[in-house]
């Protein structure tokens, strides 16, 4: 990113690719924990022995697990606006799990992030919509697409 990311100038950066997060490693233990806390501990996600008999040949990462990493990816990519105090999760628009992610011995994910919309809401507040295209190491094409909305409050002047 060549220039600092600011709420005050975000509208002029709509359509711009803002950054790429670092890789995040995911293993079977994390998938099992996610399955427990979401109460979706199904064999295709959490039972490697069973999953070897499926067409995928291994357990799959939960799609919602990938979605739950969007906040991390956003901050990790250095996209916390310098003039922003804090955001609130405002929700998601279009979300698509494009490909299954097989855990195997572990997988690495990262997000390519661009700015879809920046709407001023008065008092220096902004609603930002970022597009996340998540890739899995070694998998051709993207595995997840999501439009993530954050409502930002400015730093006090």
- From the first residue on, what is the mean pLDDT of each consecutive set of 10 residues in the chain (157 residues)? 85 96 97 98 97 96 97 93 96 98 95 97 97 96 98 95
Strand partners, 19: 113
Q: Is 83 domain-assigned?
A: yes
Q: What whole-number distance in Å separates Cα of residue 101 and Cα of residue 23?
A: 15
Q: Specify the number of domains making up the chain.
A: 1
CB-side exposure of 96: number of CA atoms within 13 Å?
7
Strand partners, 20: 112
Q: Which pTM was predicted?
A: 0.93
Q: Is 37 domain-assigned?
A: yes
- φ, ψ (nearest 5 deg) of residue 130: -110, 145
Q: Is 8 domain-assigned?
A: no
For residue 110, what are the domain limits?
A: 17-154
Single out the residue of 6, 14, 10 nearest to residue 114, CA to CA: 14
Q: Is 1 domain-assigned?
A: no
**Given this model, what pLDDT does residue 3 score?**
81
Here the CATH number for the domain that contains residue 48 is: 3.10.129.10
Q: Is 3 domain-assigned?
A: no
Within 10 angstroms of residue 111's Cβ, the number of other Cβ atoms is: 28
């Amino acid at each position: 990113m060549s220039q600092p990311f600011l709420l005050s100038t975000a509208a002029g950066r709509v359509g711009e690719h803002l950054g790429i997060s670092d890789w995040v490693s995911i293993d079977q233990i994390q998938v099992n924990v996610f399955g427990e806390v979401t109460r979706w501990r199904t064999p295709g996600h959490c039972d490697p022995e069973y999953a070897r008999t499926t067409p995928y040949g291994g357990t799959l990462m939960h799609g919602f697990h990938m979605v739950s990493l969007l906040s991390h990816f956003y901050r990790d990519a250095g996209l916390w606006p310098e003039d922003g105090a804090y955001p609130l999760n405002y929700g998601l628009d279009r979300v698509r799990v494009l490909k299954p992610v097989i855990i195997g011995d572990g997988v690495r994910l990262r997000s390519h992030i661009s700015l879809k919309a920046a709407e001023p809401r008065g008092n220096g507040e902004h609603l930002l919509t970022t597009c996340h295209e998540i890739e899995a190491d070694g998998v051709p094409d993207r595995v997840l697409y999501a439009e993530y909305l954050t409502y930002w409050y400015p730093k006090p002047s």
